[in-house]
């Protein structure tokens, strides 16, 4: 039966399509997920290696440094998207267990702390000049490495918080029940896995860049050399590179599987979900999703990494760039398509 629906409501930011969260949100989700991935990788690495003194492990030197930067960007983006900024302190006068953002508001500074602690712990190898200039930082590092249990705790904290933070970026969306596209428990895992893949790809790219730098350029001329001289940092240990490579393969494969499961779940759910997920199967957002997220961002880098492992192609930073593009596109598409998805407007109950 033909059906016409009209409404007189025309609220800015709400109608005709919800536009409450702008581009700051996918940026925030993107950088925070990479930071979370970096934390997980660092935590795992610490727990596996259990070093007794700072070592130039890329996961614990480059990782937390990038993590701190990314989390700072994320927190800035988050702050910028608030429309009633002067009241942001209200977040810390309460804890709302049913509100993911309340969890997030505590997870973020805690993660910041964990990243900083790991950064400081490894400062003597990451930025020895800085560590020398500020002895207290070196002392903290010493305190941490004084006992294996403290290193394990550092690893566990980074692993736990990173895991939570990665999941959180998805849960924040999936609990917003009114946007059916987000209503999948798999959104947390997808965002976590995507963050892990991106983190592994970034670290791998750093190692690739350093290795290529050594092979190709005259000593001391490249920006990497200048950076190394300026920081006085040690060269990151390349031993982890094969592991990272396999990690990327595993995470991207897992990401494909979980995205597949997400579609299976949505398409077998009530019609609201089915209608919502068609936003990803047809229409303008679908193109972005299949080309950028699945094609460019997952399948292509996966194939390239497998070829690298099989030594069919040389290692480059290209797969990492593709993974990053995919990871951002994933969040961008989901944030905007999600806001377009809705329960049937006005049709029910007639």
Partner 1 sequence: MHALSRRRFLKISAGSVAALGASGVIASGFARRASQAAEKGTRTVPTYCNVCFWKCGAIATVRDGKIWKIEGNPLDPLSNGRLCPRGTGGIGANYDPDRLRTPLIRVSARGKEQWKEVTWDEAFDYIAERMGKIKEEHGPESVALFSHGIGGTFFKHTLRAYGSANGAAPSFAQCRGPRDTGFELTFGTGLGSPEPTDIENARCIVLIGCHLGENMHNTQVQEFAAAVQRKATVIVADPRFSVAASKAKHYLPVKPGTDLALLLGWMNVLVTEKLYDVDYVTEHGHGFDEFCEAIATCTPEWAAAETGLNVESIRETAREMARHRPATLVHPGRRVNWYGDDAQRSRAIALLNALLGSWGRKGGFYTPSMMPIPDYPYPPYPETKRPKVDNPDKRYPFAGDSITTGIREATITGKPYPIKGWFVYATNLIQALPNQEETIRAIQNLDLMVVIDVAGSEIAGWADVVLPEATYLERFEELHIGPFKQPFVGIRQPVVEPPHDQKPNWWIAKRLAEKLGLGAYYPWEDVEDYLKWRVEDAGLSYAELKEKGILLGEKEPLYFADGVPAEFDTPSGKIEFYSEQLAEAGFDPVPRYTPHEEGPPGSFRLLFGRAPVHTFATTQTNPLLSEMMKENELWLNAAVARRLKLKSGDRVRLRNQDGITSHSIKVKATNRIRTDCVYMVHGFGQTAKGLPSAAGNGASTSQMVTRYKVDPLMGGTAVNVNFVTLESES
Partner 2 sequence: MRYAMVIDTRLCVGCMNCVVACKTENNVPDGFCRDWITETVRGEFPDVRLEIRSERCNHCDNPPCVSCCPTGASHVREGGFVMVEKNKCIGCKACLLACPYDARFTHPDGYVSKCTFCIHRIAEGLDPACVSVCPTHCMFFGDVDDPASGVSKLLTTRQHHTLLPEAGCRPHVFFLT
Instruction: Give residues in contact with partner 1 (CB under 8 A).
Output: 2, 4, 6, 8
Angle at 90 between CA 86 and CA 94, to 5 degrees: 175
Tell me which residue of 194, 305, 323, 201 sits closest to 259, measured CA to CA. 194
> Which phi and psi (to 5°) does residue 237 adopt?
-70, 120
DSSP string, 19-78: --S-THHHHHHHHHHHHHHHHHHHHHHHHHH--SS---BTTTTHHHHHHHHHHHHHHHHH
Which tokens is 121 given?
């712990």
Least gap, CB of 340 to partner 1 (angstroms): 17
91 binds, among partner 2, partner 1, none (CB under 5 to 8 A by kind): partner 2
Contacts of 159 (CB under 8 A, 6+ apart): 39, 40, 43, 44, 47
Judged by CB under 8 A, the chain residues 20 through 59 that form the site for partner 2 are 20-21
Least gap, CB of 314 to partner 1 (angstroms): 53
Quick one: which of 48, 69, 82, 239 contacts partner 2 (CB under 8 A)?
A: 82
Determine, following the binding rule CB under 8 A, whether residue 80 of this chain makes contact with partner 2: no
Determine, following the binding rule CB under 8 A, whether residue 100 of this chain makes contact with partner 2: yes
Determine, following the binding rule CB under 8 A, whether residue 91 of this chain makes contact with partner 2: yes
Quick one: which of 47, 73, 99, 313 contacts partner 2 (CB under 8 A)?
A: 99
Please identify, using beta-carbon distances, which residue of 6 and 311 lies nearer to partner 2.
Answer: 6
Judged by CB under 8 A, the chain residues 175 through 234 that form the site for partner 2 are 175-179
Please identify, using beta-carbon distances, which residue of 78 and 123 lies nearer to partner 2.
Answer: 78
Contacts of 259 (CB under 8 A, 6+ apart): 190, 293, 294, 298
Please identify, using beta-carbon distances, which residue of 2 and 97 lies nearer to partner 1.
Answer: 2
Least gap, CB of 4 to partner 1 (angstroms): 6
Please identify, using beta-carbon distances, which residue of 7 and 311 lies nearer to partner 2.
Answer: 7
Torsional sign, CA 246, 248, 254, 256: negative
Which tokens is 210 given?
């350093």
Binding residues (CB under 8 A) for partner 2: these are: 1-15, 18, 20-21, 81-85, 87-88, 90-91, 93-94, 96, 98-102, 104-105, 172, 175-179, 270, 272, 338-339, 342-344, 346-350
């Amino acid at each position: 039966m033909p059906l016409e629906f009209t409404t007189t409501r025309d609220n800015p930011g709400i109608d005709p399509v919800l536009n409450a969260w702008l581009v700051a949100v996918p940026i925030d989700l993107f950088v925070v997920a990479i930071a979370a991935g970096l934390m997980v990788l660092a935590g795992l690495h610490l727990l596996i290696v259990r070093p007794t003194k700072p070592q130039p492990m890329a996961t614990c030197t480059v990782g937390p440094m990038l993590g701190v930067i990314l989390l700072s960007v994320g927190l800035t983006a988050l702050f910028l998207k608030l429309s009633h900024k002067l009241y942001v302190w209200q977040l810390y006068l309460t804890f709302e267990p049913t509100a993911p953002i309340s969890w997030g508001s505590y997870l973020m500074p805690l993660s910041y702390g964990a990243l900083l602690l790991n950064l400081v712990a490894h400062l003597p190898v990451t930025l020895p000049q800085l560590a020398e200039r500020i002895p207290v930082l070196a002392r903290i590092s010493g305190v941490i490495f004084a006992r294996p249990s403290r290193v394990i705790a550092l690893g566990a904290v980074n692993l736990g918080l990173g895991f939570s933070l990665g999941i959180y970026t998805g849960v924040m969306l999936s609990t917003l029940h009114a946007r059916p596209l987000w209503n999948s428990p798999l959104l947390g895992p997808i965002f976590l896995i995507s963050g892990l893949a991106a983190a592994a790809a970034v670290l791998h790219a750093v190692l690739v860049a350093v290795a290529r730098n050594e092979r190709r350029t005259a000593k001391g001329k490249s920006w990497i050399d200048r950076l190394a001289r300026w920081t006085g940092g040690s060269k990151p240990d390349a031993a982890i590179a094969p592991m990272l490579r396999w990690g990327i393969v595993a995470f991207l494969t897992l990401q494909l599987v979980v995205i597949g499961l997400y579609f299976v779940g949505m398409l077998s759910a009530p019609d609201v979900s089915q209608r919502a997920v068609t936003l990803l199967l047809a229409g303008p957002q679908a193109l972005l999703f299949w080309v950028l997220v699945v094609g460019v961002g997952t399948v292509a880098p996966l194939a390239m990494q497998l070829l690298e492992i099989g030594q069919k192609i040389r290692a480059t930073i290209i797969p990492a760039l593709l993974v990053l593009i995919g990871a951002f596109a994933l969040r961008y598409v989901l944030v905007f398509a999600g806001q377009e998805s809705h329960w049937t407007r006005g049709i029910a109950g007639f």
